[in-house]
Structure 1
Amino acid sequence: MPTVKIVILKHQKREDDTWNVKIRITHDRKSSYIATSHYVNLDSINKKTFELKERNNPIYDQVMIDVLKIREELSKLGHAIDLYSAKGLCELMKEKLSNKPDGVNFFDFGYSFADKMLKEGKRTGENYRIAVRKFEEFIGNKNLQFSDITSSVLMKYDEYLRSLPSKRGIGNISDSGVRLYTSKIQTIFNRAKLEYNDEDLGVIRIAHNPFIKYKIPKNPVTRKRSLTAEQIRAIKSYSVPDNMTGVMIARDVFIMSFIMVGMNSVDMYYLGIPNKGRLEYERRKTMNRRSDGAFISINVEPELLPYLERYKDSLGDRSFNFFVRYSTHKQFVHKVNAHLKKVGDELGIPDLTLYAARHSWATIARNECGISMDDVAMCLNHKSGHDVTDTYIKKDWSRIDRANRKVLDYVFG
């Protein structure tokens, strides 16, 4: 058990001939000190022992109240006290003496974490904000400390989520939905421990880990969403009445994505005009996580020319006018996927989404055209896994052009 004592450090005399009264905590043969608000001169110090006089000394009485409180709090720690160093115990006791609420508020930290991500341009910050808000709905208020989040609380939250209807309105939230919410809570929990704990100094403000007992549902095996060449040709030739503009755009966007090596909706929405016959952009999903900004350059193939003309931006700011037709890229992809589902239903392709164009391009490139995995990864603008080597080798965009030409020739002939 640590020892707690009132001390005066003789060598720390101030210019006004006074000394600060301190509280010393000794633990594992090491000492650390808490400075009090009290200063005394020689009249209040025992000249033999250089300790604070006890009799008829109101300062001693006031500091002793803090000492007794510290001893009480140390006793409450029980075996957890072994996690702390002497300095860590001093930091913890300072908080106890200041009468601040114990622990760290989960919702204050969680919302702040999400906002910080959004300010850094990371769109996943919105997912974290949604996850924190959903957890707040379950708790019923914002008065929740990290120490209150136990495995039992998480298990009840799991049950609560499974009782809610799914986004599609078919059945309740599944394993993947529960994982979506609880994994965000775990990330926030771990980030808070990194920020508030300092194991080297023995400062442990969040000591437990409820995710040891509560297990987040595993990611279900993703159903492959790649299509055959026949299905892609069927989408391209799918006849749409003139009055169904939304369905026509969805059909065309799917084929455009395939022609542009699986370009996703947000990049298509913001894509600048071609530069010397090439489409050059930074992939927005990963641009902030990579030193090269996730830059990629692809050739404008002949199959794309009719679409460039059909959806031409009259101002010449971007390649396509989707930003005029739809107020945000989120609305753009939502509408495209909603209409693609109708196309898929007509053609016997269940749950058709724009992402299937990217999956299909990659699968056909590898399995039907014999393109190497490294080249497929480069075409999809994935990290190569050779970070050091990449700094020495200049990107050869013609590799993407040759691979895309093979895929387009295979599918469209």
Structure 2
Amino acid sequence: MGYIKTDKLITDKQILKSGEIKDAVVNEYCSREILKYTDMINRKDISNYSVTELIDYLTRVDDNVCFSEFATLYIDRMIREGHERNAKNYRLAVNHLERYLGTTRIMFNHLTSTVLKKWIDYLSKTNRAKEMYPTCIRQIFKKAIIEFNDEERGIVRIKFNPWLKVSIPKSDNTVQRAISAEACREFFNRPLPETKMISSLPELARDVSLLSLCLGGINTVDLYELKKENYKDGIIGYKRAKTRHSRRDEAYIEMRVEPFIQSTFDKYLSHDENEEYLFNFHKRYSNSDSFNANVNNGIRKICADMGMKKKDYYCYYTFRHTWATIAQNDCDANLYEVAFGMNHSHGLNVTRGYVKIDFSSAWRLNAKVIDFIFFSDEKSKQGKARDIEEPADKMFRISKKMMIYGRAYFKGKVVGELTDIGFSNVDEVIAELVKQLPKDIPTGCNVQFRLTNCDSQKEVVYERSKGKGF
């Protein structure tokens, strides 16, 4: 018979007449220790161990460092330091490894190179996880070696680093999810699927996708987290959530809100004086992940209504990829200009940390992308988006003496056009153009209107939905 010592102390008053301990804290501690020892015994053949050898095995400190416990502490530390999004990936990696090994108490000495190679091989059919998960686990392991081992003092609690013998495969290349300008016109200019919901999910999805496409491919998490202080004089300025902690310039960018999407932008603005966030998405969704999931769900509903195959359905990222592809292929932007407009560091993150950036080139490129998609057909461009020097549409003035040139667009094609005087306001011009629209435009479809004051050469764009706006 043998005993294992603990660091717990009790008095006579904490012992029942039966000899049992009545201290709840001590009992809970001992129960946890017994469970831990039982788990260790079940994982090793101890049939030939003596009592002394068994106690030595169970109490050997060097072999008893728990990877799962350290990983939890490491991930919690990441969250406290503001790396919530990365922490989610680390938690996914640890959870997957625990499921694979069948325990939530993985010990460091269990993670041999053989075990890790088999786990990585198990991940081989995934696109991204086969690289991301092992990379996360390796980083946790590396940090643990630094914290637990002290070679100078002869303290080596983690005996080996299995990653020296393990190769991590590269993730598959990102599938090019961009769609053509024609496909964009079809997506944004068709009736929305009917719904019994008070708040239409397809409508939310279409509007948020439009905001992404017309704001340089902004991500849902950044839209969700925008605050009122981030929007000033028609410009949003924010730090991209995905890379703000890994770049010297904190991934800061400014993007101008073009007149074309102003009405959609304003549609979701929060009017609650006590609310710090710019948009009212927080009223409906508890976090950015829930918001993103619902937007993608709405996009899928539109794709299904379009008769698309499931494998071809769009997602929110489709429109970010589309912005980049059209900017490069159809608007003559080079890859650096595209990267700048999408807030990628493009290898210049150190330089960007020192320089006060002028983002107007990104605004001009964004205006070109909008113009190509919504104000041209597949053959040629027509008109141009507002130049940077020109004022916003709130400065656009009409009087009956001014000559107005107006055009209506549906799916990029001009379907109405006029040049005349006698208009008192924008609505009167649009109403006159509406008379020229084809009768077969379905209810719920969007039509774009471009108005030019021939006297001042100022130009504005608007969007109206059949059945609501006209």
Counterpart CA distance in 1 for 2:171 and 2:105 is 31
**Per the alignment, do residues 355 and 152 of structure 1 end up closer, same or farther by CA in structure 2, a change over 3 Å counting?**
same
Which runs of no fewer than 5 residues in structure 1 stay unpaired?
Answer: 1-95, 163-172
* 1:379-398 superposed matches below 5 A: 379-398=341-360
Structure 2 counterpart of 1:341 = 300
* 1:202-281 superposed matches below 5 A: 204-240=156-192, 241=194, 243=196, 245-273=200-228, 274-281=231-238
Tell me if 1:315 matches 2:272: yes
Structure 1 counterpart of 2:374 = 412
* 1:78-117 superposed matches below 5 A: 100-102=61-63, 104-117=65-78
Structure 2 counterpart of 1:74 = none
Contact 2:248–2:349 (CA under 8 A) maintained in structure 1: no
**Per the alignment, do residues 175 and 207 of structure 1 end up closer, same or farther by CA in structure 2, a change over 3 Å counting?**
farther
Q: Deviations over 1:122-161 (max 9, x none)?
A: 1211221232233223333455432221122224435666
1:322 Cα offset (Å): 1.2
- The residue type equivalent to 2:111 in the other structure is I
The total of aligned residue pairs comes to: 307
Scaled by the length of structure 2, what TM-score is found? 0.59
Contact 1:176–1:217 (CA under 8 A) maintained in structure 2: no
Tell me if 1:287 matches 2:248: no
Structure 2 counterpart of 1:126 = 88
Counterpart CA distance in 2 for 1:387 and 1:133 is 33
Counterpart CA distance in 2 for 1:136 and 1:388 is 38
Structure 2 counterpart of 1:43 = none
1:113 Cα offset (Å): 1.0
Greater shift, 272-281 or 357-366, is seen at: 272-281
- The residue type equivalent to 2:87 in the other structure is G
Counterpart CA distance in 2 for 1:329 and 1:175 is 23
Counterpart CA distance in 2 for 1:208 and 1:99 is 16
Contact 2:248–2:353 (CA under 8 A) maintained in structure 1: no
1:368 Cα offset (Å): 1.2
Contact 1:118–1:125 (CA under 8 A) maintained in structure 2: yes
**Per the alignment, do residues 184 and 366 of structure 1 end up closer, same or farther by CA in structure 2, a change over 3 Å counting?**
same
1:206 Cα offset (Å): 3.4
Contact 2:285–2:291 (CA under 8 A) maintained in structure 1: yes
How much is the aligned-residue C-alpha RMSD, in angstroms? 2.7
Counterpart CA distance in 2 for 1:179 and 1:357 is 25
- The residue type equivalent to 1:340 in the other structure is I
State the percentage of identical aligned residues: 36
1:208 Cα offset (Å): 3.1
Contact 2:270–2:280 (CA under 8 A) maintained in structure 1: yes
